Structure 1
Amino acid sequence: MLRSHWVVINKKTVLIALSLLLLLVIIAQGAGRLLSRGIGKMMPPQQMLQTGLEKTRASSSFRYQAETKLTSEGKANTDFLSKVEGERVAPDLVRMKGVMMNTPIEFIQVSNGSYFKDQPSGKWIALPGNKLSDSELFYAELNPLAYFNFKDVPELKYKGLDKVNGEKLILLEMRPNLMDPFLELRLTDYFFKVWLSPEDYRLRQAALQARDKYNTKGGIEINLRFWDYDKNITISPPEVN
């Protein structure tokens, strides 16, 4: 004769087991989302940087902010050398507004025509045939991606995920050799911190420091921010009186 067997399970034990199972499911789902977004795909740092720069340059448009300060004995001056916000639309449309050397400035570049706004009168002044957005004198303000043309990057480190403005970004630190000789004419020993999107590796933020070749206590500090990639941005020539 077969006897019935009853298994008595403690209710508290069941609840603990179910809680652990639910936690494992949540962790697995979260890991899957991270992998699909690219966070878990640990590319080598050089590949992350190269991929990010290529995708950034290939963007049809983006907005940016640039702050440039002179430094002395490792400390930034309290006054901004320049602080601007701008928009770029491929291949050659630029709009920028901000302050340079404590002076308000507003600029538009459309093809080979440049336009400056005269602040006292509010009128736009045309400079036909001048493509100032490619001028070395205004790289940070008009063409911040020019700082990311590297000959090579002999020192590059992956520093993990860094929370910036509530968002987790990939942080890289590097000491590159720049392609443009103008950028190394007066400055040397460039050090970059670069924050990349974990989704597509495009640039989100960057902090650059360089030392003055002829004044060991002086240098420059540039902070950049990029957003609104591939948005519908319209830049048109202003009305010139």
Structure 2
Amino acid sequence: MVKTEIDIYYLDRTIYNYDSLSDKWLVIESSTSGPEELLISELNPLSNFIFKQIDTVEKVGFEEVDGVDCLVIEHQSEIESKLLETLWKSFEYKMWIDYQDRMVRKAVLTAANKQSPSTVLKIEAKFYDFNKEIPIEPPDTTAKKNHK
């Protein structure tokens, strides 16, 4: 669906996927080698930033992300994600790099649908709390989700 927020948790081999149509959480137990495991590996936001090849890199300038000065670059790349490569083309990235700590603070991926080029995929990821323990709890699957 276009412009649909995706909310997925993967904890202890269990997938929690919010279905916006039914306004309910789907809970899927996952094996170590089943198709669910492949799906989760493809949906991992970091898998969208594993490159086969980076074709061009352009320095855009400098911007602040969460109070940190970052070098902004844009590049076109070939990616490792077979799922994305099957459905999408023309992968373009914009990245905000903390040039002092050498950490990516923010990244945006855009791509065009192979069947309908006017349909655009946009994935935005922000990174923070580097090297800190981040507790993640499964969602309350009995309650309706709070809509923004």
TM-score w.r.t. length of structure 1: 0.47
CA–CA distance in structure 2, aligned partners of residues 184 and 210 of structure 1: 10
CA-atom RMSD in angstroms:
3.5
Q: Cα gap change, 1:106/1:217 in structure 2, threshold over 3 Å: closer, same or farther?
A: closer
**3-state SS of paired residue (2:46):** helix
Q: Cα gap change, 1:192/1:125 in structure 2, threshold over 3 Å: closer, same or farther?
A: closer
**3-state SS of paired residue (1:216):** coil
Superposed CA offset, 1:121-180 (max 9, x none): x999461416746526862xxx11101111111111122322234431111100001122
- Which residue number corresponds to residue 4 of structure 2? 81
CA–CA distance in structure 2, aligned partners of residues 178 and 107 of structure 1: 23
**3-state SS of paired residue (1:185):** helix
Deviation at 1:228, TM superposition (A): 0.9
Structure 1 segments unaligned to the other structure (5+ residues): 1-68, 71-79, 83-99
- Which residue number corresponds to residue 109 of structure 1? 11
**3-state SS of paired residue (1:135):** helix
Which letter does structure 2 place at the counterpart of 1:189? S
**Aligned counterpart for 2:106 among listed residues 187, 190, 205:** 205
Identical-residue share of aligned pairs (%): 21
Query: Which structure has the highest helix share of the two?
Result: 1
CA–CA distance in structure 2, aligned partners of residues 169 and 147 of structure 1: 21
Structure 2 segments unaligned to the other structure (5+ residues): 140-148
Aligned length: 136
Flag as ranges the 4+ runs of structure 1 deviating above 4 A.
117-120, 122-126, 130-134, 235-238
8 Å CA contact 2:57, 2:75 repeated in 1? yes
- Which residue number corresponds to residue 75 of structure 2? 174
8 Å CA contact 1:204, 1:227 repeated in 2? yes
- Which residue number corresponds to residue 4 of structure 1? none
